[in-house]
Amino acid sequence: MNTRRGDHLAAPAGSDSETEKTMPLPKRKHSKCRRDKRRTHDALSAPNLIPCPNCAEKILPHRMCPHCGYYKGRVIKEVEEKKA
């Protein structure tokens, strides 16, 4: 019947059993403005892909190419060719 708001104020001081019944709850609904302002940082950006100088596949810069195993003009790791 009663709303939970203010129940903690009615509980007698020093009574642990009374305080266990009420859990902390937000006092107000957050506004759409506040929700949307929080989400201004949520957008994901596409990774910056560059063409591999050896095999021209799209790769991440400053990483070994996962397609041919090259980095800085030499083979770092042998990559097995996938047989289709």
- The residues that touch Zn ion, with contacts defined as CB under 5 A, are 52, 54-55, 65, 67-68
d(CA 10, CA 3): 12
Q: How far is the CB of 62 from Zn ion (least distance, A)?
A: 14
Q: How far is the CB of 82 from Zn ion (least distance, A)?
A: 14
Nearest residue (CB) to Zn ion, 4 versus 58? 58
d(CA 80, CA 69): 9
Contact 69/76 with Cβ under 8 angstroms?
yes
Nearest residue (CB) to Zn ion, 8 versus 67? 67
